[in-house]
Amino acid sequence: MVKKKTCVFISGKGSNLKNLIIRSRDNIFPVKISLIICNNKKAYGVNYAKKYKIPYIIVNTSARLYENKILFYLKKYKISFICLAGYMRIISKNLIKHYQKKIINIHPSLLPKFKGLNTFSRMIKNDEIKAGCTVHYVNEKLDSGSTIIQKPFYINQNDDEKTLKTKTQKLEYKALPESIIKIFRNT
Ligand code: GRF
């Protein structure tokens, strides 16, 4: 099996990235993490690029034409699949056009509920019964592309933002690799 050359975009802690790197070392996992793009030079997740010796680039998203730099490196590393894992920037139409149905994102809520930021505080305020995570394709609208996998759990009365985040992330570590396997199952 030829593994798809994949780029993971991050902005912060990178725990999903770490999980994916480890999963992708499995011979039968369909992708190889060939490049990491980060828009925050202080992001902890960059350490995983260094530790696992994966090429990475830091982009300054306030620079004009920074997406040209991204496109240049995606091409250079022959990237055919993109995973957004905690990347806190909207992807441009141009990049989406280049990678139609080839970009996925992991979001910490049961979409279409709670698009955007601060999902856990909004869930608590709203007295939600369930929380969870969603892996979806990326399109031009924020957190709106079609769902690949969703994993729910019931919220306990004593859950707070911190416990919701921990429980959600535990599910994310399953949902993201499972989604990738599902996408490439028949290829
Ligand atoms: C995840 O919870 C993901 O749902 C959201 O950002 C978080 C990233 O966490 N989009 P990490 O950087 O992978 O630890």
Query: pTM for the complete prediction?
Result: 0.96
In the predicted model, is pLDDT for residue 64 greater than 90?
no
Task: Compute the distance from residue 10 Cα to the ligand 1 centre, in Å.
Answer: 8
* Cα-to-centroid distance, 85 and ligand 1 (Å): 6
- The answer to whether the CB of 35 falls within 8 A of the CB of 17 is no
The pLDDT of residue 1 is: 84
Residue 17 Cα: closest atom of ligand 1? 13
* pLDDT score recorded for residue 132: 98
Ligand 1 nearest-atom number relative to CA 11? 12
> 63 pLDDT exceeds 90?
no
Tell the residue nearest (CA) to atom 2 of ligand 1.
108
Task: Point out the ligand 1 atom lying closest to the alpha carbon of residue 84.
Answer: 10
Q: What's the CA gap between 38 and 70, in Å, rounded? A: 10
- Structure tokens of 80? 């055919």
What are 70-123's pLDDT values in tens digits? Answer: 999 999 999 999 999 999 998 989 999 999 999 999 999 999 999 999 999 999
Smallest CA-to-CA distance from 17 within 1, 39, 40, 33 is with 33
Predicted confidence at residue 109, as pLDDT, reads: 98
Q: How confident is the model at residue 186 (pLDDT cuts 50, 70, 90)?
A: confident
The count of C-alpha atoms lying within 13 angstroms of the C-alpha of 7, restricted to the half-sphere facing its C-beta, is: 26
Token pair 């990237």: residue: 79
pLDDT per position as a tens digit, 145-164:
999 999 999 999 999 999 99
* Cα(16) to centroid(ligand 1), Å: 6
First to last CA, the chain: 10
Q: Is the pLDDT of residue 172 over 90?
A: yes
107 is catalytic: yes
